[in-house]
Amino acid sequence: MKAILTLGIVLSLLIISASAQVPPIELIEAPPTEEQREEQIEICTQNLIAIGKSIQAYLKVNGDFPEWLSDLYHPRYLPDPDILICPADRVGGRAVFPRNIDPKMPVSYGYQFPSKHRERVQENRDMYGNVVPLVRCRHHGNEEFHCLNLNYAFNVKRSFSIWEATPEDLYESREEAIAAIEAGLQQQPDNERLSDHAYPALARLYIETGKPEKVEGLVNLFKSNISPNYPRHYLTLSTMLEMLERNEDILLLFMRLEKQDPNDRGVLRKLAEIHQELGNTELAGNTEKGLNLYRC
């Protein structure tokens, strides 16, 4: 009897101690250390360079870019499929953006040149040259950069996700970026899709490299080529006028827009802000009141 009781106590203790074993060991993967992160970036960079070489080999034989990176998986172009997997990829061989996910096999990289995007990408290349990303890895996101990019010149550069906002990241220097965007804008000054990044980026680069006098000409080029009918365009113009500290011109711009559409809340908000900055407190208050009335 005593032996049975003792066995019962031992079993109970075993059950209690087993249920106390939390958390389970598997599934929770620790984030990489700084050293591991750097190593992953290095391996990924080498992968991208190898992918670039494979694309060049593919181009030579086929006279065109592949439709997807998985098309490179052929002994002739890419003997090792592991090159298509980034060591920082924690989602099992997938690009981060759904539209970039390779349909045929696990690929960590976002390919930017499938046929349905080629027209848009070609416009980007006409504007910025061969620095435009061809293959992007988004698995290393951190404060310094979001993407590793293989470009059309088959070099690897780091950039933020929206590289168009800081295109200089893709060039060797700011001067090189300026020369390329100047040439691009000469070729397509009226490209409305690209204008909202290209013009203000060039204006900012002019200022940062000590050529603020060139911004004036850029503003005029913008005004004579881009329709002011879309909010994003007049915001682009106002961004450039802000760089020149031309507050009165910004005021005139937004007063004109208010006349066109007195209920445009974005315009009213900006107008109140400009009045405030110019010290027109009463006008700022009246515009704010208009905004509030509209809200009711």
Contact residues toward Zn ion (CB under 5 A) are: 44, 86, 88, 137, 139
Q: How far is the CB of 46 from Zn ion (least distance, A)?
A: 10
Strand duo 110-111 + 147-151: pairing: unpaired
The smaller minimum CB distance to Zn ion, of residues 125 and 157, is found at: 157
The smaller minimum CB distance to Zn ion, of residues 44 and 69, is found at: 44
Q: DSSP letter for 63, please.
A: S
Q: How far is the CB of 52 from Zn ion (least distance, A)?
A: 14
For the record, the structure tokens of 172 come out as 């060797």
The smaller minimum CB distance to Zn ion, of residues 108 and 195, is found at: 108
Q: How far is the CB of 76 from Zn ion (least distance, A)?
A: 24
**Alpha helix ranges (H) inside the chain:** 2-19, 34-62, 118-128, 174-187, 192-208, 213-225, 231-243, 247-260, 265-277, 281-295
For the record, the structure tokens of 116 come out as 């349905």
The smaller minimum CB distance to Zn ion, of residues 69 and 185, is found at: 69
The smaller minimum CB distance to Zn ion, of residues 42 and 261, is found at: 42
Q: How far is the CB of 93 from Zn ion (least distance, A)?
A: 12
* Dihedral over alpha carbons 228, 231, 233, 234 (to 10 degrees): 70
Beta strands in 97-174 (DSSP E): 110-111, 133-137, 147-151, 156-159
8 Å CB contact between 109 and 53: no
Q: How far is the CB of 125 from Zn ion (least distance, A)?
A: 23
